[in-house]
Chains A and B, each alone.
Chain A
Amino acid sequence: KAGVTQTPRYLIKTRGQQVTLSCSPISGHRSVSWYQQTPGQGLQFLFEYFSETQRNKGNFPGRFSGRQFSNSRSEMNVSTLELGDSALYLCASSVGDGTGYFGPGTRLTVT
């Protein structure tokens, strides 16, 4: 089976802009979770989608949002980008047993 794919792999944006990241889960996985990884804060949970519904949400401002489509692909959106949003954004898919299988990540740089 193909693994989790994330696009794009790298992004450079300017403060104030918005960005959309995409994640395609492993075939048959209906759960998609998003994580932000920074040197200062480590790996932090953003949100989880399961069957097109947000099931869990981390402690991030409303500028961070997501959605999931009927084919389980997920997108996350960050509006009004700030310098502190520079991070590696990781997507994980799960078949539902609690195990997360991670994609390669999207490296977002905000200038």
Chain B
Amino acid sequence: AQSVTQPDIHITVSEGASLELRCNYSYGATPYLFWYVQSPGQGLQLLLKYFSGDTLVQGIKGFEAEFKRSQSSFNLRKPSVHWSDAAEYFCAVGRPPMEYGNKLVFGAGTILRVKS
């Protein structure tokens, strides 16, 4: 069964500083990996996804993530954080949808606080 671990429940960074949110997954084959962001009381917004190919993927709002198979990781990064990035971030893993459908398994989330 798939699982996702986000080791950091809370992270605080200063505005303008770089950010890295950690995500480790457990899945036997090549996973479908996603990062979502959620503002309080809102739905989830897709930041980026990885299915195959180039292991460094670019997303919206200046975010990027790198897939490292050897470490079973898919960490999210941003070079310079803005106050508006304060939110909760979720890493998720899926399987090939043609065989398994579109079910996603989510990590527990990391709450990002930005200091001015």
Contacts and interface: CB of A to CB of B under 8 A. Distances in A.
Interface of A: 4, 31, 33, 35, 42-43, 45, 48, 50, 55-56, 58, 88, 90, 92, 94, 96-105, 107
B103 A105 contact: no
Given A43-B90, A99-B49, A94 B102 contact: yes
A90 B108 contact: no
Contacts of B92: 100
A31 to B, nearest CB: 5
B28 to A, nearest CB: 16
A109 B101 CA distance: 30
Contacts, number: 73
B97 A94 contact: yes
A91 B109 CA distance: 18
Given A31-B97, A56-B100, 11 more contacts: A33-B102, A35-B104, A43-B90, A43-B106, A98-B49, A98-B94, A98-B96, A98-B102, A99-B49, A102-B46, A107-B41
14 contacts: A31-B101, A35-B106, A42-B106, A43-B106, A92-B102, A92-B104, A97-B97, A98-B32, A98-B95, A99-B49, A100-B44, A100-B104, A102-B46, A103-B43
Interface residue range, chain B: 20 to 34
Given A90-B44, A98-B94, A107-B41, A48 B101 contact: yes
A96 B102 contact: yes
Given A42-B109, A90-B43, A90-B44, A102 B36 contact: yes
Interface of B: 32, 34, 36, 41-46, 49, 51, 90, 92, 94-98, 100-109
Contacts of A105: 42-43
**Closest 7 A-B residue pairs measured CB to CB?**
A43-B106, A102-B44, A102-B43, A98-B97, A94-B102, A55-B101, A56-B101
Given A97-B97, A102-B36, A45 B42 contact: no
A97 B52 CA distance: 12
B44 to A, nearest CB: 4
B102 A104 contact: no
